[in-house]
């Protein structure tokens, strides 16, 4: 895809997970330089060591998205090292389950802090620098849970944050439309990650309910989400900003 190579730098928060890692490999395969961030220390380095960088480069940095100071630290470090970020994927997120009437205060705050605040701190800091350069692209990871009621899981905090970040993409897409910086969101459906693999073993009846509601009758692969993100980063999406791209096997069109 045009606009992903030539040394362009892409940063993916929560990048050590299935969707983040798949996106990193896709961007690197097109010649991009990719920075995966997470809070995993040496484990994050091990994840990167196992990825295929293709014609590009992939590196790992610790970054706590809930800390604006830490986000600023990483952004400044990358510019000092001649890795100015052209594209950022605000992908870090958690999805704890609990009945709403018994939802723990700390769990609510943590989910909001990572999924919503963390997305904004990331987009604000790297977006500011893109605006100064007059070019860049932002992709925020939303979810089908942000656009409709999913069940039987009880994810009130997760769904609320995913609705919020999708609207954040629309708001910033319009606000920054004339700066050279595009902002879009990708809304994955149920995706084949280790978390869902475990759920299939622990609660096969729930898994079967999910499959029955997906028109394509299967889970998305992390690579399918990564391809959508890469498209939004690429010059092929040069006319898109403030959009939400659903990649959910038809789930949201039911």
For the annotated catalytic residues, the residue numbers are 158
Locate 235 and state its tokens. Answer: 């010059």
Q: Give the residue from 83, 27, 35, 79 showing the smallest Cα distance to 56.
A: 27
Query: What contacts 24+ positions apart, CB below 8 Å, involve 114-119?
Result: 114/65, 114/66, 115/157, 115/158, 115/161, 115/162, 115/165, 116/161, 116/164, 116/165, 117/65, 117/66, 118/13, 118/65, 118/66, 118/90, 118/92, 119/65, 119/90, 119/92, 119/165, 119/168
Q: How large is the greatest C-alpha to C-alpha distance in the chain, in angstroms? A: 51
Query: What contacts 24+ positions apart, CB below 8 Å, involve 201-206?
Result: 206/152, 206/153
Helix (H), strand (E), coil (C) string for 162-223: HHHHHHHHHHHHHHCCCCCEEEEEEEECCECCHHHHHHHHHCHHHHHHHHHHCCCCCCECHH
The β-bridge partners of 184 are 139
State the virtual CA torsion across 240, 176, 114, 111 in degrees, nearest 10.
-70
């Amino acid at each position: 895809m045009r606009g992903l190579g030539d040394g362009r730098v892409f940063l993916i928060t929560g990048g050590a997970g299935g969707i983040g890692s798949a996106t990193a490999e896709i961007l690197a395969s097109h010649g991009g330089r990719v920075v995966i961030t997470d809070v995993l220390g040496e484990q994050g380095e091990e994840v990167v060591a196992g990825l295929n960088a293709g014609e590009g480069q992939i590196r790992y940095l610790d970054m706590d998205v809930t800390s604006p100071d830490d986000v600023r630290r990483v952004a400044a470090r990358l510019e000092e090292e001649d890795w100015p970020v052209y594209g950022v994927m605000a992908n870090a997120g958690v999805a704890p389950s609990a009945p709403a009437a018994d939802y723990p205060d700390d769990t609510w705050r943590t989910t909001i802090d990572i999924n919503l605040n963390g997305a904004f701190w990331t987009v604000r800091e790297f977006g500011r620098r893109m605006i100064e350069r007059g070019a860049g692209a932002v992709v925020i990871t939303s979810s089908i849970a942000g656009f409709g009621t999913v069940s039987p899981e009880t994810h009130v905090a997760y769904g609320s944050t995913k609705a919020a970040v999708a609207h954040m993409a629309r708001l910033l897409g319009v606000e920054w439309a004339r700066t050279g910086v595009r902002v879009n969101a990708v809304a994955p459906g149920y995706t084949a990650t280790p978390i869902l693999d475990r759920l299939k073993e622990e609660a096969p009846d729930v898994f079967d309910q999910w499959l029955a509601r997906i028109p394509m009758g299967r889970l998305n692969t992390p690579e399918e989400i990564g391809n959508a993100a890469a498209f939004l980063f690429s010059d092929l999406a040069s006319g898109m900003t403030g959009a939400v791209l659903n990649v959910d096997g038809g789930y949201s069109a039911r």
